[in-house]
A and B are shown apart, each in its own frame.
Chain A
Amino acid sequence: MEPIILTENLKKVYHVGKVDVPALRGVDLLVHEGEFVAIVGPSGCGKSTLLHILGGLTSPTSGKVLVDGNDFSKMTDADRTRFRRHKIGFVFQRFNLLPTLTARNNIEIAQHIQGNGYNPHRFEAVVEMLGIKDKLDYKPYALSGGEQQRVAIARAVICEPKILLADEPTGNLDTENSQVVLNMLRTLNRNFRQTIVMITHNPEAAAVADRTIRMRDGYILPD
């Protein structure tokens, strides 16, 4: 199998005033195409930071990052934006839907930004699979947390990203809705070979994944 994510000695230091906060202290990570990986670890250990770097939302301080053949050390800000647009889908703990738009428009705007236009077949398939067909004309405030997160997943995968990055996708959901969302991620991974990297605090959620990576204090713990 191809490695789709490869990091070597990845470091990230935040500068808060005069204080340096090392969030990642040398992360070596390998994820294969089609894998469903869970990342677990205590609060503040650098999970979100790692995910943001992999998605090109922020740049590493040092170390090597190769995602789907793109070497981040050679990419500008605009390059990373383009990379993110075409290859990454994000799902967040707080759903992060645009509040003024309906579910349908929230999904469509991702297609609009990607620029490949509206693909009705893909739209149908995704909406069908996530079971949000009859919720499409509602605005986020009129949807339950579980429904919002399903719309967010639809938005993340509508453009067929290489990698789906999920930061505690069930963190704001009750057990029942968590299960639904986890099942959908599972299905996406099984049926579409969607590569998924998911952060979670919940061991049950991690169990859904093929593999669990443990982090502590900015390192990945050996298995």
Chain B
Amino acid sequence: MILSNLLHRPIRTVVSILAIAIEVGMVLLVVGMTTGLLHDAARRVEGLGADIMVEPPGASFFFGLGWAPVPIKVADRLAQIPHVLAVTPVLFQSNTNVGSGVNVIWGIDPASFDRVTGGFVFLKGGMFSGPYDALVDDLYAKAHHVKVGMTISLLNHDFRVAGIVEHGKGSRLFIPMATAQDLASAHDKASIFFLKCTDPGYTDDVMKAVHQLAPQYQVISVREYMTLMTANNLPALDAFITALIAVAVIIGLLVIFLSMYTTITERTREIGILKSLGASKGFIMTIILREAAVLAAVGIVGGFLGALGAKRVILASFPTLSVDLSVEWAVWAALLALGGTMLGAFYPALRAAQLDPVDALAYE
């Protein structure tokens, strides 16, 4: 009965399923892309191999917000702390380029950067040889069709691509520290310091020492940083995700509401017939709700498949992005879609159940 009703109005059925699928797919992709972005950034920091990050007061460890560069000299003092193997300063610069989004460019000092991170893996080319040389990672290179020796525009200046490095070490774009300082008019300054201990076991001791040395600085271990890089810890991002999910769920709910509402109007007579056969209110409600549940179930599966398909397309077209589709969120998206569907179908189902049988039978 439910199936034959759904098949009887194929367009309505398909549109309803599509709405649910889009709802589910959108939730999965929004969450997947934002967590993907965060995890990706976090993984790249982890990939540096540093143990501790030291930032000036007021800065955010979530790169991109409120940088107040501090004297690079601090690095020398940090390096003298016992059990510190190496310290490397980095100066952040954001590069807004039409068509490529926002990239954080790292100004680095190759020598100390290599000591902390163990050095880049060069896939092509090599380290900077002049002030206007840049390194890009392989994903950036793939996304922007960059080759060694090419000129790319960063911070409104032309840079020569000196090398393409394996991704996973901090940023996707690197330029020499001095050049970054020049362009930012931040001479002898840095945004952050990465510390490597002689052994990760000394991390806590070194953190304490840094704290004593520069109490106003923010000190965080990379391990803790990794746990903080979730949307929940970024209020703005969390609100953004919540808002998008709410919009998706509400749209799904409204489409189902409208779909079921028109259905019961259309089927008023049929409901009257069922009532004349002795169908109870519960029976009628169950029919309508089950029908909605079938729409939701098919839509949810469609949404899953759509999200997987979209992920492939996104990764193929934007190699620098990453999309983390989690089972946990798939369950959440399914529950939200099902809940929204039931909520949307509830009122129409109630209306159907409460129809007067004689009026319903007389309905044209």
Contact = CB atoms under 8 A, between A and B. Distances in A.
Bound pair (A, B): yes
B275 A96 contact: no
Nearest to B274: A113
B241 interface: no
Interface stretch (B70-78, B276-284, B298-306): B276-284
B271 to A, nearest CB: 10
22 contacts: A55-B276, A57-B357, A57-B361, A58-B356, A58-B357, A81-B281, A82-B278, A85-B279, A85-B280, A90-B276, A92-B361, A96-B272, A96-B276, A96-B361, A98-B273, A98-B274, A99-B270, A100-B4, A105-B4, A109-B1, A113-B277, A113-B279
Which 4 A-B residue pairs are closest in the complex by CB-CB distance?
A85-B278, A100-B4, A100-B8, A84-B278
B5 interface: yes
Interface string A73-84: 000001001101
Contact of B280 (A78, A88, A98, A110): A78
Given A81-B278, A98-B273, A105 B1 contact: yes
Interface string B10-32: 00000000000000000000000
B4 A101 contact: yes
A98 B8 CA distance: 12
B39 interface: no
Contacts of B274: 98, 109, 113
A189 interface: no
Interface of A: 52, 55, 57-58, 78, 81-82, 84-86, 88, 90, 92, 96-101, 105, 109-110, 113-114, 155
Of B274, B277, B357, most buried by chain A (CB within 10 Å of CB) is B277
A47 B163 CA distance: 94
- Most chain A C-beta atoms within 10 Å of own C-beta, residue among B269, B278, B283, B358: B278
Contacts of A98: 1, 270, 273-274
Of A55, A81, A86, A155, most buried by chain B (CB within 10 Å of CB) is: A81
A166 B322 CA distance: 68
A88 B275 CA distance: 12
A209 to B, nearest CB: 22
Given A96-B361, A100-B5, A100-B8, A109 B278 contact: no
A155 B279 CA distance: 14
A57 B278 contact: no
B8 to A, nearest CB: 4
B280 A81 contact: yes
Contacts of B273: 96-98
Nearest to A48: B358
Nearest to A58: B358
Nearest to A87: B278
B279 to A, nearest CB: 5
A84 B357 CA distance: 12
Nearest to A167: B361
Contacts of A100: 1, 4-5, 7-8, 270
Contact of A52 (B1, B270, B358): B358
Contact of B275 (A57, A82, A109): A57
Given A101-B1, A105-B1, A110 B358 contact: no
A78 B8 CA distance: 30
A52 B272 CA distance: 12
A28 to B, nearest CB: 23
A171 B324 CA distance: 66
A78 to B, nearest CB: 7
B358 A57 contact: yes
Given A90-B276, A109-B1, 14 more contacts: A57-B357, A57-B361, A58-B358, A81-B279, A82-B280, A85-B279, A85-B280, A98-B1, A100-B1, A100-B8, A100-B270, A105-B4, A114-B277, A114-B278
A86 B278 contact: yes
Contacts of A101: 1, 4
Contacts of A85: 277-280
A76 to B, nearest CB: 12
Interface string B324-364: 00000000000000000000000000000000111001000
Contacts of A58: 356-358
Contacts of A90: 276-277
